Every structure is written in C-alpha cells, then in structure tokens.
Amino acid sequence: MTASPSFSLEKDPLKIVDKWLQEAIEKKVQRHPNSMVLATISDTKQPSTRVVLLKSLSLNKGFGVFYTHYGSRKSIEIKSNPFVSAVLHWDQLGKQIRFEGKAIRSPVKESDEYFVNRPWKSQLNAWVSEQSQPQADPSELIARAKQKAKDLSLPDPTKNNKDISESEIFSISRPPFWGGYRFWFAAIELWEEGPDRFHIRRRFERSLSPLDAFTFKTGPWKSWYLQP
C-alpha cells in the first residue's frame, strides 16, 4: 500500500485539507460534510467535545473558523486554555483529518460579515439562547424568541412564513456575546484508509508565534509518516 501522489508529494497540508473537504461536499457524503468534533479542556483538566461547523478555511494564513456563543462551555474553556484539537471524518470516503492548535476570537468585522448572512431566525436564536445554561423546558427558549421578535417588530418565528425571505427582508445585528473563533493549526494529521488496515498516516507540524490579537506568524511545515 503506497500513498497517492497528491498525498505524498504535497508540502502544504492545508491544500489537501481543502481538496478533501471539497470532495466531501461535492459527493454529499453527509448532511454537514464540514462538521468537526472540537475538543477543549477545562481549568480542572476535564476534557469535553462537541460538533461544530468549519465555516471557512484560510489557505494562505492557515486557520479555520467556527462560530459560537461566547458564553458557551467551549468558549469558557477556550478562554482558560486556548489549546484545542478537532477531527473531520468521512467514513464513506475513508478519510480523516486531525487538527491541533490554538483558538482565538475572530475580529469583530469578520464575525459581523458572517452573521449578516445568516437566516433571520438563526440571528434571532443567537440573541435569545444562553448556550449551555440550564432551562426548565425547551418552551422557555421559544417564548423568549417570540418576545424578542415582537420587540424587534419581526414576524412570529414559530410560524412558517413561507412568503418571507429568510435573509433579504429582515436583518438583526450580531449580539456582542456571539461570534467566531480562528483555529490556528499547529499540527495536521491526514489519514487515508487502506486495505487490511494498511492505512496511510502523515503528520504535519509547524510553529506558531503571536503577532497580534488575531494573528500568528507561522513556521514552515515539517512532516513524517506514522504507522497506522
């Protein structure tokens, strides 16, 4: 079992990440081919995982972006410990990508530009959902959403509203407690399924040095193969 030329010759793992992600999207291997399991760790060293969507990938700078509530468990843990890891897995393609690195908040403009293109009901949800906080019943969230919509002179979000455009007519400003994270990759591990468990694994690593609140200076990628 030998690695494919693109797998073995490429020096920039992000190009392979982008290629595999586009393949997963085009082949519609799952409903959300950009869904990745993100792992964080608390200040008491308790790990936790959840699925988030990798919404964008900066090939030239070397980071991915996901969005969430800044009061969520993941955000609280990232604030305490910015080192995170994640995995994209496509069983039908026989491919997997592991990421390790640091997560930092996205610039305000970056979060605003993403938020304005969300459906208005999703925008509304960002305002009323106190993510990760307990509630007595899911109906509480619906009630808050209906009240918030009324306060903003919006339609009842619980109704179908088929004749209303999701994004063109209504637009809600982004709440300051909701936004993006830039996931700067310090390590990327590519896995390709092989016959009889003779899989191909290639690990890439590079250094990250802070330049400003949102950016890292990245070193050259170094890579080697790992036994499966």
Encode pLDDT of 115-147 as tens digits.
999 999 999 999 998 888 888 888 888 999 899
- Residue 96 pLDDT: 98
Please choose, from the candidates 35, 179, 197, 199, the residue with its C-alpha nearest in 3D space to the C-alpha of residue 103. 179
Note if 31 is an active site residue: no
- Residue 9 pLDDT: 73
According to the per-residue pLDDT averaged within each range, which of 7-11, 147-151, 218-222 is highest? 218-222
- Residue 105 pLDDT: 98
Encode pLDDT of 58-90 as tens digits.
999 999 999 999 999 999 999 999 999 999 999
pLDDT band at 162 (very low <50, low <70, confident <90, very high): low
- Residue 91 pLDDT: 96
Encode pLDDT of 206-215 as tens digits.
999 999 999 9
pLDDT exceeds 70 at position 169:
no
Go through the domains of the chain in sequence order and give each one's CATH number. Answer: 5-116+177-226 (2.30.110.10), 123-173 (no CATH)
* Average predicted confidence (pLDDT) for the chain: 92
- Of 73, 144, 182, 197, catalytic: 197
Q: Is the dihedral angle over the CA atoms 217, 21, 7, 95 positive or is it negative?
A: positive
- Residue 137 pLDDT: 85
- Predicted TM-score (pTM) of the model is 0.90
